[in-house]
Amino acid sequence: MNKIISGSKLDPHHVKLQVLNELSNTSVVNYEESNQQSQAIPVNIRVTFLRIGEIDTLNERYQAQAAIDARWLVNYNLLTRQLSRNDKQRLDEGKSVTLVKYTDSNWHPQLFIENALGDLKEQITYSAKKSNDQFVYICEHREIKALLWEKLELHHFPCDVQELSISVGSMLYDDKVILVADHLRQSGINRETFVDQQEWFLYEHVISEQRFVKEFLMDDNDDAVEEHSKSQNERKRSFLVISCHAARRSEYFYWNGYCLMCLITICGFCIFCIPPTLPQNRLQIGVTLLLTSITFRWTVNRSLPTISYLTSLDKYSIISIFILVILCIWHAAMGAAVFIAKRYPNIDTDDKFVWIDRYALFGFLGAFFIMHMAMLVWLFLVPLAYRRQMERNDQEYHIKNRAKSKSLAGKMASRTVTTANGRQCLPSANQRS
């Protein structure tokens, strides 16, 4: 599946009609080819994230307000039969015409939001704008305010980057409608109104992903199933997923998760200052630290949903717990060895058991240091590398937007006409055609 990076700063409403007419020729050709072959009408989708609210990690959902524009081509003559003379004149002049009750007597793609939860607040309007002499673009403007479900990937928590998406689907099958990303009017996001800026960093680029969902039959009638299998062959519905990305600000979990767990584990090595002839004191402190680390781990996990895999913070906490368990086992074994060797209760500082205990301390500290070095290398090469990729995508978006702005400005300048009084203006609709 192809992913398309799009930006947010280019506003296609400011692009003049003659540029849009030239760029839309490709869509007209695709429309004619689709009608000749599969009769599937391509519907161009553009999503603008107007406002992203709270991201609820525990319940895997987020709040969003977005504007969804869907455009498709219709025949000019068929549409103008339904318009008044003034609307037809405005349409011929290249202006946008508002269509009232368009869906009552005309075809539309029957779009819906797949990942919406609860009551969806939406407002839908329709407008038309001329593309060329034979076709007109119908635009469905949909503004939504909803609670959206999103499957959060928490493998790298708390260094995770989440994909916040809006999945737009059609009730019609793919032999009637194909949803595609609008290449002329790119999707975007407004980062200034982001609510969770204290906890998340919102990236600027937006991606689109096209997918198809196979049909499932809910009729239990055997005759209906047999008829369905004969007449239809894996009918699918078209979906387009428009996504932005948000990176969690991890500093809080670094200090209150990793750091505190590391300090608790380091306290476990301080037990070696107690002589091995006092295993009861060693075990008492070791078990207390063990229970403290377990309780701390459960406290941290309260902010996460119940998932079937371990996050990076879970892995670190469990490894730290196992280190404390191994230390407790060592203290018990050392106490038993000293007791069997009859070095109890007094033992000399140069005794071989004391040296063995010292070597064990150095070995455990070395393994603890190597574990943290490996963890830092993994953190730099895997989770943080994905964030660096997101930053590169933002840079590519800026470069693409600057190049496109220069291209559009050049086309606008080349189409200006100098009037008799020396003032420049844009060519008329007849000159453009």
What is the reported pLDDT for 116?
Answer: 95
Q: Which structural domains are found in the chain, ordered by start?
A: 3-249 (2.70.170.10), 251-381 (1.20.58.390)
What is the reported pLDDT for 84?
Answer: 87
pLDDT digits 0-9 by tens, 197-216: 999 999 999 999 999 998 75
421 has a pLDDT exceeding 70 = no
pLDDT digits 0-9 by tens, 96-120: 899 988 988 899 999 999 999 988 9
pLDDT confidence bin for 217, thresholds 50/70/90? low
Read off the pLDDT of each residue in 419-431 and give the average, rounded to a whole number. 40
Question: 208-217, 231-240, 340-349, 415-424: lowest mean pLDDT where?
Answer: 415-424
pLDDT confidence bin for 218, thresholds 50/70/90? very low
Give percent above pLDDT 90 in the chain: 57
15 has a pLDDT exceeding 90 = no
What is the reported pLDDT for 424?
Answer: 41
What is the reported pLDDT for 117?
Answer: 93
CA distances from 368 to 21, 317, 375 (A): 66, 13, 11
Contact 103, 125 (CB under 8 A): no
Q: What is the pTM of this model?
A: 0.78
What is the reported pLDDT for 7?
Answer: 42
pLDDT confidence bin for 232, thresholds 50/70/90? low
| Integer Cα distance of 352 and 20 in angstroms | 87
What is the reported pLDDT for 93?
Answer: 85
What is the reported pLDDT for 247?
Answer: 96
Among 8-12, 37-41, 301-305, 340-344, the range with the most confident prediction by mean pLDDT is 301-305
18 has a pLDDT exceeding 60 = no
What is the reported pLDDT for 408?
Answer: 64
